[in-house]
Structure formats: C-alpha cells, structure tokens
Structure 1
C-alpha cells in the first residue's frame, strides 16, 4: 500500500443516494497518508432536508476517517456550502478532526497552497441561493437517471463508470464558461495572497491546471467522477480518477502542471 503525504477530498455528499461511498472506501484502502484534507460538501445537509439516504458504506467512511485521525493522521475539515452549518464550529476539533474555514498548506517541495471549498467564488451560490437550490434538485435528478444508465451499461458489459451529469457539464457551453470563470476567480484569490496555488472543490470538475502562473487544483467529487488529489512525498500533486478511464486519460496530460513552481 503506497504512502502519500496528503489526500485531498471534496464533494462526497454523504446522506444522498448519489454518494459513491463504496468507491471512496476502495480508494482510501489503497493509500496511507500523513494528512487528509476534507475540502467541503462532505455531508449534504441540503439534500438531507428532502430525503436522507445513509448507507452502511457511508457510515464506514465516517468510521474510517475517525480511525485515521485517532491513529495519528492529521485530518482537517473545511466545510462547504452543503455542510455550511458546520461553519458555526470553526476552530473546534471533533474526534481529533480540525474544523477550519480555510487552510494554507505547504507542500513537501515548499510551495504554498490555499485550501477552501470554493463556493466563495460562485456568484449564484452567494447571491441567488434559490437558484442554487433549484440547480441542486435538477442535478439530483440527473444523478438518479445516471444510475439507470449505469445499470444498462453493466448489462451490456461496460464496466467503466460513465457520468451523465459530467458529460453534460463538458458539453454545455454555459457550464464550461462557468467553470472557466470559477477557475480564474479561485486562481486570482491565491495570487492576491502571494501563494503558489489553490486546492478547492465545489464545481465537481476535477483538474490540475496552470492559470497564469498559479496552479489551480480541483478535487472533483464522489458523485460523478470519483476523483481525489494526492500529494506525493516529494510534493508532486496527482489527480486520481477512481474507475473513470476517460477522466484519467484527460488529466494524465495535465498532471505535470502541478510540478511547475
């Protein structure tokens, strides 16, 4: 089992039918880490107001994270907009898990990165909450439809996971423009603080990319893409796409950007 310096996870959305906790557990069993950073939307309180789906795998994930913290791994939790209720407890530790609003992390190679969820850069979430909630409901419908498509694909022998919502985001011009604007805003925030990069989540679009000299990193999610970021012992960042060949191929070409200081 390989040892890495840090694991970065975001947008797990515990408490929902869409959460792919089984794949996440497979991923976590494959890595030993010194640090685990939970970069927001770990628990989906928005969706849980409508309907709670809490599986055995989701419960096991919580237990695994608590166990990692107890045995000495540093676990830092940065709440997002879907678990924003936990922002009332910033600075408090729960079961050896630190809860903070943001965090400055220094990689093993000396580069310094801003860690936060990223809803701060989403104008819709900040100023038009009802639109964000409506979008969340529609997104949930896409995910439910995707479960039917996945079942059909498995019956025809397609074992690689494919995301309808992810496909839509990559094909719809408006969604792509939103992603580009988000990346620019996030990178600008890191640049203003004199940092080398930013690691965030929120938009469910995993990538490691250079944006005008700033390394922009998004963890992706465990609803559509099943992605995470790991920091190797030398400070190199890598995007792990767990079970998605398409995303793995795309981001293998981008990963080397993370080594640029």
Structure 2
C-alpha cells in the first residue's frame, strides 16, 4: 500500500499492554500515512492495566518500533503523557529516542491556526479527585471491550458484516456517560480559551469528534481500543477525523473519513 503524505498525525488512547489494544489496525494505519509531525496525546501505554496483568503482543512491539523508526528518520514526534501513562510525566521536558516528552504543546497548522494539544485528564473531575472510581470504571470498560471481542467473532461466524461496538453503544445509551462527555468537552474548551488558542486537540474520553463549541474548535482523537480513530492534518492545514475499524485489519482499504453528519463538520479553515 502506498503511503499518503500528510502534515501531522494525532493519536491518543492506544493502551499498549492490554488485550483491548487494536495494534494491528494501528499498524495498518501507520503504514498508510506518513507525516512531518506525529503527536501521541496520552494513554499510549496503559500502566494502570499492566499493574493488574500484562498483554504485550508482537504487533504492539512492532507499533513501538515503527514510531521509534519514524523519529530516527526525521519525523518530529511528541509524547504528551495521560493518566494511564502518568509515570512518564516525571520526565517531561526531556527527549528519549528522538521523542520529546511535554505536558502539553501548541501546534501551528499549515493555515496558521494554533491548537492546544493535551491528553485531557486534567479536566476530568473523576480522574482528578476520585481516582478509585476512575480505576473501577476502567476495569468495567475493559470488560466491555473484551466482551465486544467475543461478540465480533460471533458476528463474523454468523456472516454479519460491519463493526459494532458494545462499549460505544453503552456510552450512547447511558445518560450519565453522555452528560459526562459534554461536561468534559465544555471544560476543555474553557481551558483552551484561557490559553488564547484557536482550538484544542485531546483524547482521554474515547469519544472521537470534530466540532465547534462556543466559537472554539474542539477535536478529540478517539482511541485504538474501541473506535480506532485518529486526526490527520493535510498539507493545506485541513483537519480530518479518520476511522479505521470498518473492515478486518488484514483487508483494510484506504480509510473512510467520518462523515460530517456523524461528527459535526470537518474543519476546513
């Protein structure tokens, strides 16, 4: 597959070290896209889950090697740790393997806009002040993801096409979860506005989106456990949300952009 050149790639919530990590799909995605900038916006490695049990596949290792190889070959790689890999926050400000660790960053798009990049957990009141609740919620979410793996196998055996997410369905149906998502988005936007930027790109809540909130651009990368989504910046500065879960990983064709009806309006400038 020929690589497609974009200016920037934004990824979050990969959760390497867990069974839920869809490293095969991420590897397919990275093989398709080449970029000048690569931003890793937190929860790339899941130390929380690895404290309970470790699942590190050969494909997950290949993902790490591919990122390191890109950094060595000149891609500017930035790693902004999240709450699941918060141990790395002790090393903010240093560079290892040509990868720069930062607590947040300001990215300038090709068309001159300024975006605040962060993971987003600092705007999650549960994670900040009730860590034990966050840990229980993390265990419950991982259980849904594992159940979804079994359901996907059953759907394939029954000849049912397409991808269906149990965790995503639960988020849409549980009113408190939806309310939390909107509260999080509003909080992140308020924080970005205080920084005087044009918008914010984050992760954390596993809910991919590109939208306008109060005159500010809010962009969330989603995740590589459930939705398999990423943000790419094209050479002209246009930002696009790409989903990579519509087909089995071995049969992936070039990505299908998320439609404007599903995720508001793609930012064109």
- C-alpha separation in 2, matches of 1:117 and 1:65: 19
SS of alignment partner, residue 181 of structure 2? helix
> Paired residue for 1:214, among 213, 216, 227?
216
The residue aligned with 1:259 is 268
- C-alpha separation in 1, matches of 2:235 and 2:5: 8
> Paired residue for 1:155, among 154, 157, 163?
157
- C-alpha separation in 1, matches of 2:160 and 2:36: 36
Structure 2 unaligned spans of 5+: 248-255
Deviation at 1:38, TM superposition (A): 0.1
More helix by share: 1
Deviation at 1:199, TM superposition (A): 0.2
- C-alpha separation in 2, matches of 1:221 and 1:252: 19
The residue aligned with 1:177 is 179
Matched ranges for 1:118-129 at <5 A: 118-129=120-131
C-alpha distance after superposition, 1:162-205 (max 9, x if no partner): 21101111121111110000110111111111110000000000
Q: Is the 8 A contact 1:207 1:251 kept in 2?
A: no
Q: Measured at CA, do residues 63 and 159 of structure 1 come closer, stay the same or move farther in structure 2, by a change above 3 Å? A: farther
Q: Is the 8 A contact 2:242 2:258 kept in 1?
A: no
SS of alignment partner, residue 267 of structure 2? helix
- C-alpha separation in 2, matches of 1:8 and 1:138: 26
Residue 206 (structure 2) pairs with residue 197 (structure 1): no
RMSD of aligned residue pairs (Cα, Å): 1.3
Q: Measured at CA, do residues 156 and 74 of structure 1 come closer, stay the same or move farther in structure 2, by a change above 3 Å? A: same
Q: Measured at CA, do residues 64 and 255 of structure 1 come closer, stay the same or move farther in structure 2, by a change above 3 Å? A: farther
Q: Measured at CA, do residues 251 and 129 of structure 1 come closer, stay the same or move farther in structure 2, by a change above 3 Å? A: farther
Matched ranges for 1:1-261 at <5 A: 1-244=3-246, 251-253=259-261, 254=263, 256-260=265-269
Deviation at 1:243, TM superposition (A): 2.0
SS of alignment partner, residue 205 of structure 1? coil
Q: Is the 8 A contact 1:112 1:196 kept in 2?
A: yes
- C-alpha separation in 1, matches of 2:87 and 2:160: 40
